[in-house]
Amino acid sequence: MPGFELFSEAERKEVNDVLASGVLMRYGFDGMRNGHWKAKELEHALQKQLNVKHAQLVSSGTAAVSVALAIAGVGAGDEVIMPTFTFVASFEAIMMLGAIPILVDIDDTLTLDPEAVKKAITPKTKAVMPVHMCGSMANLDALKTLCDEHKLLLIEDACQAIGGTYKGKALGTIGDVGCFSFDFVKTMTCGEGGAIITNNSNYALNADHYIDHGHDHMGNDRGAETHPFLGYNFRISELNAAVGLAQVRRLPEFLAIQKKHYTILRNALEDIPQVTFRTVPEGGEESYAFLNFFMPNLETARNIMLGFKENGVDACFHYYDNNWHYVRKWAHLKELKSLYPITEEVKKGMQYLQTQTFDQSDHYIARNISCLIKLSWTEEEVNTRAQKMRDVILTNVN
C-alpha cells in the first residue's frame, strides 16, 4: 500500500486508451469510444475479484459511504452507529444525508465493539457501520446478529481494507452494502474514486440511478432518459477508472507483497513482551496494509514514535495525536462548525458529543502505533526497517 508505488505500463496503456478515444465521461458518446468502457470493465472486474453480484463505481470513498446509506433508505433524522476511530469522511458521509452519526467505542480489533453498539441502539437507529480500519475487520458475526435482531442495516466501510477476508468472504460482502475507496494512497488506486458493492439487486439499481442525477440509463439516447427519483453527481471518470482497471488486475500481486513485508516486520517484534498486536477476529485475514501494535502506555507510545522519527522510520502513525482519524481531535464535529445551517434535528441528535467520553477507545488508541506497509520497499529495506523498529522499541521499554 499504496498502489501508486508500482505504476507500470499496464496503467499507462489503459489511460492511453481513454485519451486516444477522447471520451473521459463514463456515459454516452458510444460512437467515439472505439469499444473502450473502462468504468464498466472495472465494475465487472470488482464483481469477479470480490465474488459479489453488483459493483457501482463512484467518485470517492466518501461518496461510496453516502451512496451506500442513501440507496438503502437512510436519511434525515436516522441514526447510524459508527466507531470513534475512522477517517473523518465516515461521519461526513452520514451527515450529508441529514442523518446522525452515533460514535461508540472500539475494542482491541481497533474497530466497533459489539457491546458498545448494543448499548447505543435506539428507536432511531437505522444502520450500523463498522469501519475496517488499517486493513482489518470488526467482529462481523456479532454485529450481524445485532443487526438482524433489531432489523438494522449493516453497512461495511471497507475503504482501507480491500483484500481482507472474513470466514472466506471478501470484506465488504458480508453486510447489506460494502464501500471501498480507491484514492491515491489506497492499496488499489484510481487516483480518486470508490465503489459500492452489494448482492441486493434493488440497491444496485438504486445506485446505478442515484450516482448519475437519477438517470435511469434506459435506451441509447441519454437525453431521453427519465429520472425515477432525485440523484446527484457521484460519477467516476473514465481516466480514473482506467487506472483502477489495471490496478485491480494487479491486486493479488500487491496483497502478496504487503503480506511478505508485514510478516518480516511483525516477526521482528513478536518476542518483545511489551508489544501486543491488534486482535483479528477468528476466521478473519487482514489485508496486511498496516502493522498495528500496542505499547504498555501513552508515554511509551509517544517516545517510540519520536524514536522512529529520529531513526528514519517513516509512515508510522500514533492516532491519539492525529487530527484526521480519532474523535479526540474532531473539534469541528463536536462544535458543528459548518459553512451552512445544520438542521435542528441533527444539532439535537449530536448534543451527546459535548459530554460523551470514550475511555475504552482512549485505552486502545493512546497505546496503538500503526505502520503503513509499502509495496516499493526492497527486502533489504524491510529488514533494515524491522531492525530499527525493534531497537527503538527495546530502548524505550527496558
pLDDT tens for residues 337-357? 999 999 999 999 999 999 999
pLDDT tens for residues 149-188? 999 999 999 999 999 999 999 999 999 999 999 999 999 9
Spatial distance between the Cα atoms of 300 and 367, rounded to a whole number of angstroms: 8
Q: Is 0.95 surpassed by the pTM of this model?
A: yes
- Tell me what the mean pLDDT of segment 12-21 comes to: 97
59 — pLDDT class (breaks 50, 70, 90):
very high
Backbone angles phi, psi at 192, to 5 degrees: -140, 135
pLDDT computed for residue 3 by the predictor: 87
**Mean pLDDT in the chain?**
97
Strand partners, 196: 56, 179
Strand partners, 80: 101, 127
pLDDT tens for residues 187-235? 999 999 999 999 999 999 999 999 999 999 999 899 999 999 999 999 9
Question: Which three cell numbers mark 327?
Answer: 474523535
For residue 1, pLDDT beyond 90: no
- Residue % of the chain over a pLDDT of 70: 100
- Same CATH topology for 3-250 and 253-397: the answer is no
Domain boundaries, the chain: 3-250, 253-397
Strand 290-294 to strand 79-83: parallel, antiparallel, or no bridges (unpaired)? unpaired
- Residue % of the chain over a pLDDT of 90: 98
Indicate the CATH number of 3-250 among 3.40.50.2000, 3.40.640.10, 3.40.190.10, 3.40.50.150.
3.40.640.10
The answer to whether the beta carbons of residues 303 and 396 sit under 8 Å apart is yes
CATH architecture of the domain covering 253-397? Alpha-Beta Complex (3.90)
Question: Which three cell numbers mark 349?
Answer: 441528535
pLDDT tens for residues 238-285? 999 999 999 999 999 999 999 999 999 999 999 999 999 999 999 999
CA angle 187, 189, 191 (to 5 degrees): 145
pLDDT computed for residue 241 by the predictor: 98
